[in-house]
């Protein structure tokens, strides 16, 4: 385990790492010893998770090709039931993990406790999936994080989706457009709403997008969020991006809730 002084240095370095490029992040990994953010054990690989906890991550093996949710292993088509009935507004969602233990613990630590070591671990996991997908399917013109409303941003102090997007940008060179998509409606958190219809109405006209074509001529967008539950947030954000001139919107998230 790390000493108090070393742990303070590590936590400080994790926070500033989001404002640095990939080379600086690698240097911070070398200069500050790491222990696993889940079990506290030795993380000798230079990351924030030990090899044992890494093996426990609920990686999605057979995702729905549209919404990214884990499908049954015996499924003939890689489509979930809801997507067979109605495809989402966005083109595709790529999720690396199911929203289950211990991924949910990492996300909670990062999102609600400002644990930037957990955030770095999550960003590194998604960056691997993002790069692998883009190497095969092509790279987007821009990465756009799901924005927080200004009131919630002020309360939390940071936008977790933006911090993750910065890591994806550092690993690929794709630029982050942070001011292109704006949340104009201070919605109730989706996790507090159980009925699907109310989730959709809660997010209706929640986002607005500037003219992408006149601003940057970005047509192929990677939309980034930390957790996807029903996909209602991504649908409304993608709708705003399409209105703003996007021709394709692929979504990338750390975790996808199982239906």
- pLDDT tens profile 191-234: 555 555 555 566 778 899 988 877 678 999 999 999 999 899 99
- Would you say residue 256 has pLDDT above 60? yes
Going from N- to C-terminal start, the domains of the chain cover 57-256
CATH pick for 57-256 out of 3.10.180, 3.40.50, 3.30.450, 1.10.287 = 3.40.50
Greater confidence, 77 or 218? 218
Per-residue pLDDT band at 2 (split at 50, 70, 90): very low
**Model-level pTM?**
0.82
- Would you say residue 182 has pLDDT above 90? yes
Question: SS3 sequence, the chain?
Answer: CCCHHHHHHHHHHHHHHCCCCHHHHHHHHHHCCCECCCCCCECCCCCCCCHHHHHCCCECCCECCCCCCECCCCCCCCCCHHHHHCCCCCCEEEEEEECCCCHHHHHHHHHHHCCHHHHHHHHHHHHHHHHHHHHHHCCCCEEEECCCCHHHHHHHCCCHHHHHHHHHHHHHCCCECCCCEEECCCCCCHHHCCCHHHHHHHHCCCEEECCHHHHCCCCEEEEEEEEECCCHHHHHHHHHHHHCCCCEEEEEEEEECCC
**Residue 196 pLDDT:** 56
- pLDDT tens profile 117-150: 899 999 999 999 999 999 999 999 999 999 999 9
**Residue 1 pLDDT:** 45
- pLDDT tens profile 22-68: 455 455 555 555 688 888 887 766 678 888 899 999 999 999 999 99
- pLDDT tens profile 88-120: 999 999 999 999 999 999 999 999 999 988 999
């Amino acid at each position: 385990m790390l000493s108090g002084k070393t742990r303070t240095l590590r936590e400080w370095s994790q926070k500033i790492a989001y404002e640095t490029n990939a080379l600086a992040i690698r240097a911070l990994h070398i200069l500050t010893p790491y222990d696993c953010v889940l079990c506290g054990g030795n993380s000798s690989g230079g990351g924030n998770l030990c090899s044992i906890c890494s093996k426990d991550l609920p990686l999605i093996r057979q995702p729905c090709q549209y919404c990214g949710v884990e499908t049954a292993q015996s499924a003939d088509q890689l489509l979930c039931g809801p997507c067979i009935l109605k495809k989402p507004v966005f083109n595709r969602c790529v999720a690396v993990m199911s929203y289950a233990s211990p991924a949910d613990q990492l996300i909670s630590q990062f999102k609600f406790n400002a644990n930037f070591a957990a955030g770095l671990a999550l960003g590194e996991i998604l960056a691997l999936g993002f790069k692998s997908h883009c190497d095969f399917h092509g790279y987007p013109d821009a990465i756009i994080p799901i924005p927080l409303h200004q009131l919630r941003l002020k309360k939390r102090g940071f936008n977790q989706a933006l911090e993750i997007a910065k890591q994806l940008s550092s690993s690929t060179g794709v630029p982050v457009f942070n001011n292109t998509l704006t949340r104009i409606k201070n919605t109730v958190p989706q996790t507090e709403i159980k009925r699907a219809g109310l989730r959709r109405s809660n997010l209706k006209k929640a986002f607005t997008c500037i003219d992408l074509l006149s601003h940057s001529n970005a047509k192929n967008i990677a939309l980034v969020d930390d957790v996807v539950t029903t996909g209602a947030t991504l649908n409304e954000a993608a709708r705003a991006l399409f209105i703003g001139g996007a021709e394709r919107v692929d979504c990338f998230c750390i975790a996808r809730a199982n239906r």
